[in-house]
């Protein structure tokens, strides 16, 4: 809200001086193709013009889908290249929803905690195994040729979707040229998401840390890793191959722990054992943990409704 007010006050966005950097490459391209919930009316109308109609089904984000899986209102799910068990910020909630499905199909490059729950696992090709394009923040489309062919029985995600559509006898495209034509039309379409008309109210509040869990926890990616895929890269494992809890020198002194010492990190819903990493980058009592390593399910410490998750840290010999 504060950033939007600043942008509206100084008209920064229209001068190209600010942009939101997405977590993943080609996020802009995916949004232009409508691969997100809550589309703008202009993009919805453009898709309707191309398809002749637009699905009337209610749109859900990941959290809403998982909630409806738990209620058994959604009974089947296809997952492409996402490890919900590792990435969703409440592992218990995600697992409960996925286990209630009648059918779970997962397409991914590697085995993951989510593929372990799947009824069907489909091998998916990586970005380096097929031709495609990337759309940058300016909307410029950059073509990319796959340097290698898909290995074994793996296929690109779009080829998997095409094969499923053919089995259902509802082919999506009459030819590859038709697919390319639709992609180019959507990538050229400028559909900005709806924004508020006026200023937003900014009401900053500070949560008090619970007495039993005094340390705010930040979960993210290790600097050498990204999500769940890079754990398979041996070269990156030479830099970091296991999870850790990172803290400031002052907090380490307070807890009486040394760099590399294994401690137990406990939240109201989970606990994990990890080594300590002392860092001058952190100050105060906040701690950081990477979510990139399957052997340590860091998201089991998180609760989806918490704005800030808190933990306590204890020595294993204490």
Over residues 281-294, the mean pLDDT reads 94
pLDDT tier, 68 (very low <50, low <70, confident <90, very high otherwise): very high
Q: How far is CA 75 from CA 61, 71, 104, 257, in A?
A: 16, 9, 8, 47
pLDDT tier, 202 (very low <50, low <70, confident <90, very high otherwise): confident
Beta strand 215-220 with 287-290 is parallel
Global confidence as pTM: 0.85
So what's the pLDDT on residue 318?
Answer: 58
Over residues 207-218, the mean pLDDT reads 92
Judge whether residue 55 has pLDDT over 90: no
Judge whether residue 204 has pLDDT over 80: no
Q: Could you tell me the residue ranges of all domains in the chain? A: 2-188, 215-315
Q: Of residues 263 and 133, which shows the higher confidence score?
A: 263
Mean per-residue pLDDT over the chain, rounded: 90
Distance CA 38, CA 40 (A): 7
Q: What is the pLDDT of residues 15-51, one digit of tens each?
A: 666 677 887 888 888 888 888 888 888 888 888 998 8
So what's the pLDDT on residue 2?
Answer: 83
Judge whether residue 229 has pLDDT over 70: yes
Q: How far is CA 166 from CA 101, 160, 180, 317, in A?
A: 24, 10, 18, 60
Beta strand 76-80 with 262-266 is unpaired
- Mark out the alpha helices in the chain (DSSP H runs): 2-10, 27-32, 41-51, 62-70, 84-87, 91-99, 157-167, 176-188, 234-237, 249-255
Distance CA 93, CA 65 (A): 11
What CATH code would you report for 215-315?
Answer: 2.40.40.20
Could you give the maximum distance between any two Cα atoms of the chain, in Å?
A: 67
So what's the pLDDT on residue 296?
Answer: 94
Query: Which of the four CATH numbers 2.40.50.180, 3.90.25.10, 3.40.640.10, 3.40.50.740 does domain 2-188 have?
Result: 3.40.50.740
Q: What is the pLDDT of residues 90-137, one digit of tens each?
A: 999 999 999 999 999 999 999 999 999 999 999 999 989 999 899 988
Distance CA 90, CA 307 (A): 12
So what's the pLDDT on residue 36?
Answer: 84
Q: Categorise residue 227: left if φ over 0, alpha if ψ from -120 to 50, beta otherwise.
A: left
């Amino acid at each position: 809200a504060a950033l939007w007010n600043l942008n509206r006050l100084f008209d920064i966005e229209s001068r190209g001086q600010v942009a939101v950097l997405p977590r993943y490459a080609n996020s802009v391209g995916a949004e232009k193709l409508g691969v997100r919930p809550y589309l703008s009316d202009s993009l919805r109308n453009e898709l309707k013009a191309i398809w002749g109609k637009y699905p009337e089904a209610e749109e859900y984000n990941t959290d809403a889908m998982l909630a409806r899986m738990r209620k058994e209102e959604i009974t089947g799910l296809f997952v492409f290249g996402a490890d919900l068990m590792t990435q969703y910020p409440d592992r218990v909630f995600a697992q409960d929803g996925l286990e209630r499905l009648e059918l779970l199909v997962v397409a991914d490059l590697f085995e993951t905690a989510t593929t372990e729950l799947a009824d069907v696992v489909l091998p998916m090709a990586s970005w380096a195994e097929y031709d495609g394009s990337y759309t940058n923040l300016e909307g410029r489309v950059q073509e990319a040729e796959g340097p290698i062919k898909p290995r074994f029985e793996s296929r690109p995600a779009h080829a998997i979707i095409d094969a499923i559509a053919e089995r259902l006898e509802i082919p999506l495209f009459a030819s590859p040229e038709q697919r390319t034509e639709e992609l180019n039309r959507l990538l050229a379409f400028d559909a900005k998401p709806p924004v508020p008309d006026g200023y937003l109210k900014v009401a900053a509040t500070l949560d008090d840390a619970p007495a039993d869990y005094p340390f705010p926890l930040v979960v993210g990616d290790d600097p050498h890793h990204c999500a769940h895929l890079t754990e398979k890269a041996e070269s990156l494992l030479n830099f970091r191959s296991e999870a850790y809890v990172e803290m400031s020198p002052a907090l380490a002194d307070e807890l009486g722990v040394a760099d590399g010492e294994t401690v137990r990190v406990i939240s109201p819903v989970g606990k994990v054992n990890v080594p300590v990493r002392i860092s001058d980058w952190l100050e105060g009592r906040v701690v950081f943990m990477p979510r990139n390593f399957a052997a340590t399910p860091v998201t089991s410490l998180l609760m989806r409704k918490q704005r800030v998750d808190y933990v306590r840290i204890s020595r294993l010999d204490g």
